[in-house]
Amino acid sequence: MIPEPKVVNTIINGDSKQILVSERDSLLEALRDRIGMTGAKEGCNNGNCGACAVIMDGRLVNSCCVMAAEVEGAEIMTVEGLASRDELHPLQTEFLDNAALQCGICTPGFLMSSYALLQENPDPTEEEARFWLAGNLCRCTGYDKIIDSVLTVAKG
Amino acid sequence: MVATEKPQYKIIGTRPRRPDGVDKVTGRAQYGADIKLEGLLYGAVLRSPHAHALIKSIDTSKAEALNGVHAVITNADLVGSGQTFQPTTAEAIESGTYWQALEPGKASPRWAAENILAGPKVLYHGHAVAAVAADDVHIAQDALELIDVEYEILPHVVDVQDAMVDGAPILHPQLRTGVRAAGVDTRSDIETNLASHMRLESGDIEKGFAAADLTIEREFTSSQFHQGYLEPQNATAFWSHDGRINIWTSTQGSFMARDATADVLGVPVASVKVTPMEIGGGFGGKIPIYLEPMAAVLSKKSSRPVKMWMDREAVFQATGPTASSYSKVKIGVTNDGKITAAECLFAMGAGGFPGSPVGAGVQCALAPYKIDNQVIDGLDVVLNTPKTAAYRAPGAPATEYAVESVMDEIAEQLDMDPIDLRLVNVAEEGVRNSSGTPWPKIGAKEVLEAMKSHPHYLSEIQGEDVGRGIAIGFWFNGGMESSSSARVNKDGSIALILGSVDIGGSRASISMQLAETLGVTYEQIAPQVTDTDSVGYTAVTGGSRTTFAGGWVAYELGQTIKAEMISRAAKIWDISGDEITYTDEGTVVGPDDAEGNKRVFSFNELAGKLQATGGLIAVSASSSHTTQGAAYGGHIVDLKVDRDTGKTEILRYTAVQDVGTAIHPDYVEGQIQGGIAQGVGMALNEEYYYDSDGHLMNGSFLDYRVPVANDLPMLDVEMVEVPNPGHPFGVRGVGEVPIVPPQPTIRNAVYDAIGVRFYHTPMSPRRVLDELL
């Protein structure tokens, strides 16, 4: 029995969106498979890796663990909304200049988590940054240059 | 950075932004699972709940009838018309002809397809049995529940030593041991799980041990580790009515994926085009194919493009972990530390089909040292676990861990500094390696000397249960075939078309080598990784070969472009090309003309005259190099063991490595830091857990715990540059060496901290507590 599709009204990166979803879709599936926004990545589909991190009504969430139907009326910010029209966000610039990415699949999640960290705690210690970002897995970098980049941006 | 003699480069050694960087930080980069096609269907795979079983029957009819399902396939659907073998029939299985003995050491031609979708047997928990394509993922998963499979469960074996004993459950009744070792009594005429037995031998082992003052023999085991790339395997395929098969996938080698897919499907290679998408990590695990043939056949059956990607549990269950291992290492030394003989045995679990990395492990085991008398045996053993895939320096971490652990015990017993012990025995240019080949210029000694004088090693350590350890490691860094083409545009910008998939920055590192060759800027080169129809054959991105071999091709392209630029200038100036020089600054200079005016073109200026002098320059190059960039790294760790929890905390970590020439030092550092992190995971907490039925119990990132940000400190890297004499820019390759030393480095430091020698990795908190309580 295929469930009836459902319309979800949401705001994504400032734009109003109506998304036709299956009741079984996660927010990640709605973004990726229903409206083609593939910036958020699926690494585990159970909240362990952070590759799908987005910000929902100001709160950092793993979009694979949010049902699409839950975002009715919510504001979502994804990695596609991090840069302004004219320039990259300082986190994006620093990640690029400090080689904080290799394969890049974890990068959208790290950027969103780092953005949320700096919103919450604009001047974290190295230990605070490491604990905050412990929900994001990276298998390429050993985290060194990611942590360094976040701390550099925090210091301005 | 420590550097021996090195030319002055303009581009090499700088740290420009990567060409693919902006797309990756803005979410625009297109990875395999990001592809969108009109009419796309979504695939899902039914996997075996058993570690070892005969498939008695598969009934897909109810799944096929589900609304929204477009195709269902099993192994029988994979076999096309081009194979050299007949489809596996029920009669062949019943009558036993299917199980007839193969020649010793030979693989069955069916095995490649049977790892993709199981044949008569499932050989590991999670082995793919059937696949479905449907309108969305949820419907495809619903359909899997409607497939009825009747199994006859067989006894299983998941441990490499258990698999070699008489009476062990046999995975492949056809298999006969391939013996590539003289003087061993291994039989090749009986049913077995031992797929091959190899041996390297030199000198006189008995005489060597007789000359030793001290001989230490130890046994070691290691668990299976997974590469843990963040992006699950994926593939999208469209099989057109004209027989053309388009595949979009995240692979480490588009040509390898094309050829392997064509082989499995029995179609001509030229009918398959693979477009490599951005790849989210691989570390060797994305060299084999898994989903590509399934997606293709589902597409053929449904006449629609089909996208598939694995869930994380499937990645752990069915894609390449590294081999579990058993090692026995015996080393004899004189009282002044000189090694007189070494005898080693390494057995590795290949998983459900033959082909562990034991061969590479055997060749690496003693590579850091000059040992005149040595025997190394390697055993490749099949087990009811996933078929192993390459994982960063495949085979080397396990064998070198065993050797470096014994070296630490020798240093202790001789009361020698562990670095000094290694310096006494270090391999150098001209010394023969275990395969009998003399080493070219290598940097093992330079690495050890840099370790010894490193502030980390010179510092005092203090505190309870705090310890320090060191170890060194080796990897070959291969050459193999690469291809590229380049086009010079009218403004001097250059399109560089690459056959190599870029997994960690090779677009940047290869562009930098082309820019250096031509004396132009990095920014004017626009690199692009392309599909298998659009560039010459290129081997996989692996073996730390890509910057090495890709750079070599870029150098050759650059030389051809330079010669062509000279001939165009000759045409314009109406003089002989012999009178014209291409300078390091990228200018083309001729002798002064009759009036005494300088004849000189900048690269960009001359590029503007190409169309009028014979057309824009378009060149291609393919080359294959058998030379290696043999490289060594040495690690130093300080750590603390918590006696209450068994947890080991890394306090300080330093890696010293001969990187040949660091093309982009940030990326070199990043490779080394990433390798350390994976090696720390192997040393301290990663491992596959099987229950008594052979089920993988920890197939998630929560339970198979890779190191996270707060498990590690900053990772210090000291690059030693001993340029590779076998490469135009001295490149050696850097990515794999750093995963080799962490296990013994940490094991030796744990002993220093708490006085316990471990003989198994990982040294997980539970195992540490078992030793302490």
State the Cα–Cα distance between residues B512 and B490, nearest whole angstrom.
Answer: 21
B18 to A96: CB separation less than 8 angstroms, yes or no? yes
B657 shares its domain with B732: yes
B34 to A38: CB separation less than 8 angstroms, yes or no? yes
- Pick the closest to residue A114 from A84, A148, A142, A87 (CA basis): A148
Count the neighbouring beta carbons within 10 Å of the beta carbon of residue A118: 18
Q: What is the CATH number of the domain that holds A30?
A: 3.10.20.30
B261 shares its domain with B375: no
Q: What is the CATH number of the domain that holds B670?
A: 3.30.365.10
State the Cα–Cα distance between residues B528 and B98, nearest whole angstrom.
Answer: 46
B433 shares its domain with B507: no
| pLDDT tens digit sequence for A8-26 | 999 999 999 999 999 999 9
For B247, left (φ over 0), alpha (ψ -120 to 50), or beta?
beta
A103 to B279: CB separation less than 8 angstroms, yes or no? yes
Which residues have CB under 8 Å from A93's CB, separation 6+?
A: none
Which residues have CB under 8 Å from B323's CB, separation 6+?
A: B160, B224, B348, B349, B350, B351, B356, B357, B358, B388, B395, B398
- Is residue B721 within 8 Å of residue B1, measured between CB atoms? yes
A151 shares its domain with A118: yes
- Strands of A59-62's sheet in order across: A15-21, A6-12, A75-77, A53-56, A59-62
- Is residue B91 within 8 Å of residue B28, measured between CB atoms? no
For B375, left (φ over 0), alpha (ψ -120 to 50), or beta?
beta
- Assess A115–B contact: CB distance below 8 Å, yes or no: no
- Assess A57–B contact: CB distance below 8 Å, yes or no: no
- Asked which of B599, B625, B651 is the last residue of a domain, the reply is B625
A79 to B27: CB separation less than 8 angstroms, yes or no? yes
Distance of CA B300 to the CA centre of its chain: 32
Looking at beta carbons, which residues of chain A come within 8 Å of B34?
Answer: 32, 38
In a domain, A132, yes or no: yes
Verify cis geometry, omega within 30 degrees of 0, for the bond prior to B591. Answer: no
Instruction: Report the residue of chain B nearest A110, measured CA to CA.
Output: B25
3-state helix/strand/coil string of B21-77: HHHHHCCCCCEHHHCCCCCCEEEEEEECCCCCEEEEEEECHHHHHCCCEEEEECHHH
Instruction: Report the residue of chain A nearest B668, measured CA to CA.
Output: A99
State the Cα–Cα distance between residues B587 and B599, nearest whole angstrom.
Answer: 10
Provide the number of CB pairs (under 8 Å) joining chain A to chain B.
Answer: 197
Looking at beta carbons, which residues of chain A come within 8 Å of B30?
Answer: 38
B398 shares its domain with B521: no
In a domain, B371, yes or no: yes
Count of structural domains, chain B? 3
Looking at beta carbons, which residues of chain B come within 8 Å of A104?
Answer: 20, 24-25, 29, 278, 280
Which pLDDT score is estimated for B76? Answer: 92
State the Cα–Cα distance between residues A93 and A88, nearest whole angstrom.
Answer: 6
State the Cα–Cα distance between residues B277 and B262, nearest whole angstrom.
Answer: 19
State the Cα–Cα distance between residues A36 and A30, nearest whole angstrom.
Answer: 8
B701 to A137: CB separation less than 8 angstroms, yes or no? yes
Which pLDDT score is estimated for A2? Answer: 62
A40 to B700: CB separation less than 8 angstroms, yes or no? no
A73 shares its domain with A11: yes
A48 to B231: CB separation less than 8 angstroms, yes or no? no
B670 to A95: CB separation less than 8 angstroms, yes or no? no
Looking at beta carbons, which residues of chain B come within 8 Å of A46?
Answer: 312, 700-702
Radius of gyration (Cα) for chain B, nearest Å?
Answer: 28
- Asked which of B279, B309, B339 is the last residue of a domain, the reply is B309
B440 shares its domain with B376: yes
B708 to A51: CB separation less than 8 angstroms, yes or no? no
- Strands of B525-529's sheet in order across: B525-529, B494-498, B480-488, B618-625
- Assess B18–A contact: CB distance below 8 Å, yes or no: yes
In a domain, B173, yes or no: no
In a domain, A104, yes or no: yes
- Assess B67–A contact: CB distance below 8 Å, yes or no: yes
A70 shares its domain with A33: yes
A45 to B283: CB separation less than 8 angstroms, yes or no? no
Radius of gyration (Cα) for chain A, nearest Å?
Answer: 16
Instruction: Report the residue of chain A nearest B703, measured CA to CA.
Output: A48
B712 to A42: CB separation less than 8 angstroms, yes or no? no
State the Cα–Cα distance between residues B146 and B148, nearest whole angstrom.
Answer: 6
In a domain, B226, yes or no: no
HSE-CB at B71 with a 13 A cutoff on CA atoms is 23
Exposed, middle or buried, B464 (CB in 10 Å: 0-12/13-18/19+)?
A: exposed
B643 shares its domain with B615: no
Looking at beta carbons, which residues of chain A come within 8 Å of B504?
Answer: 102-103, 140
A145 to B673: CB separation less than 8 angstroms, yes or no? yes
Residue B164, helix vs strand vs coil:
helix
**Residues of chain A numbered 122-151 and touching chain B (CB < 8 Å):** 126-127, 129-131, 133-148
- Assess A53–B contact: CB distance below 8 Å, yes or no: no
Nearest CB partner across the interface for B278, out of A104, A135, A136 = A104
State the Cα–Cα distance between residues B9 and B29, nearest whole angstrom.
Answer: 31
Tell me the shortest Cα–Cα distance from A73 to chain B, in angstroms: 24
B152 shares its domain with B271: yes
Nearest CB partner across the interface for A139, out of B42, B135, B230 = B230
B714 to A144: CB separation less than 8 angstroms, yes or no? yes
B398 shares its domain with B523: no
Interface test with A, best of B24, B145, B227, B230 (most A CBs within 10 A): B230
Tell me the shortest Cα–Cα distance from B530 to chain A, in angstroms: 17
B451 shares its domain with B493: no
Nearest CB partner across the interface for B24, out of A24, A107, A141 = A107
A59 shares its domain with A37: yes
B360 shares its domain with B447: yes
Exposed, middle or buried, B65 (CB in 10 Å: 0-12/13-18/19+)?
A: exposed
Q: How confident is the model at residue A4 (pLDDT cuts 50, 70, 90)?
A: confident
Count of structural domains, chain A? 2
**Residue spans of alpha helices (H) in B470-545:** 506-518
Looking at beta carbons, which residues of chain A come within 8 Å of B501?
Answer: none
Tell me the shortest Cα–Cα distance from B525 to chain A, in angstroms: 18
- Assess B30–A contact: CB distance below 8 Å, yes or no: yes
Looking at beta carbons, which residues of chain A come within 8 Å of B665?
Answer: none
State the Cα–Cα distance between residues A112 and A128, nearest whole angstrom.
Answer: 16
Strand boundaries in B539-647, DSSP class E: 581-582, 588-590, 599-601, 618-625, 631-641
A51 shares its domain with A105: no
Residues of chain B with pLDDT under 50: none
**Residues of chain A numbered 68-97 and touching chain B (CB < 8 Å):** 78-80, 82-83, 88, 92, 95-97
For A85, left (φ over 0), alpha (ψ -120 to 50), or beta?
alpha
A104 to B29: CB separation less than 8 angstroms, yes or no? yes
Per the structure, the complete domain to which residue B540 belongs is given by: 2-28+479-625
Per the structure, the complete domain to which residue A64 belongs is given by: 6-81
A140 to B68: CB separation less than 8 angstroms, yes or no? no
Count the neighbouring beta carbons within 10 Å of the beta carbon of residue B172: 22
Q: ipTM strictly over 0.90?
A: yes
Sign (positive/negative) of CA torsion B267, B269, B271, B276?
positive
A103 to B229: CB separation less than 8 angstroms, yes or no? yes
Nearest CB partner across the interface for A42, out of B26, B29, B33 = B33
- Pick the closest to residue B24 from A91, A92, A52 (CA basis): A92
Which pLDDT score is estimated for B1? Answer: 56
In a domain, B224, yes or no: no
State the Cα–Cα distance between residues B547 and B657, nearest whole angstrom.
Answer: 17
A151 shares its domain with A94: yes
Which pLDDT score is estimated for A1? Answer: 52
In a domain, B118, yes or no: yes
Nearest CB partner across the interface for B231, out of A33, A105, A142 = A105
- One-letter amino acid for residue B651 of the chain: L
- Assess A20–B contact: CB distance below 8 Å, yes or no: no
- Assess B709–A contact: CB distance below 8 Å, yes or no: yes
Instruction: Report the residue of chain A nearest B29, measured CA to CA.
Output: A39
A61 shares its domain with A33: yes
State the Cα–Cα distance between residues B728 and B513, nearest whole angstrom.
Answer: 9
- Is residue B610 within 8 Å of residue B568, measured between CB atoms? yes
Q: What is the CATH number of the domain that holds A105?
A: 1.10.150.120
A129 shares its domain with A146: yes
In a domain, A108, yes or no: yes
Which pLDDT score is estimated for B83? Answer: 77
B140 shares its domain with B280: yes
In a domain, A1, yes or no: no
Which pLDDT score is estimated for B3? Answer: 54
Nearest CB partner across the interface for A103, out of B503, B706, B708 = B503
- One-letter amino acid for residue B511 of the chain: S
B273 shares its domain with B126: yes
Which residues have CB under 8 Å from B114's CB, separation 6+?
A: B75, B108, B353
**Residues of chain B numbered 112-151 and touching chain A (CB < 8 Å):** 135-139
A94 shares its domain with A128: yes
Return the percentage of chain A with pLDDT > 70, whole number. Answer: 98
- Asked which of B625, B653, B684 is the last residue of a domain, the reply is B625
B504 to A22: CB separation less than 8 angstroms, yes or no? no
Interface test with B, best of A1, A102, A111 (most B CBs within 10 A): A102
Looking at beta carbons, which residues of chain B come within 8 Å of A48?
Answer: 312, 700-702
Which pLDDT score is estimated for B735? Answer: 96
State the Cα–Cα distance between residues B597 and B761, nearest whole angstrom.
Answer: 72
- Asked which of A81, A108, A133 is the last residue of a domain, the reply is A81
- Is residue B467 within 8 Å of residue B746, measured between CB atoms? no
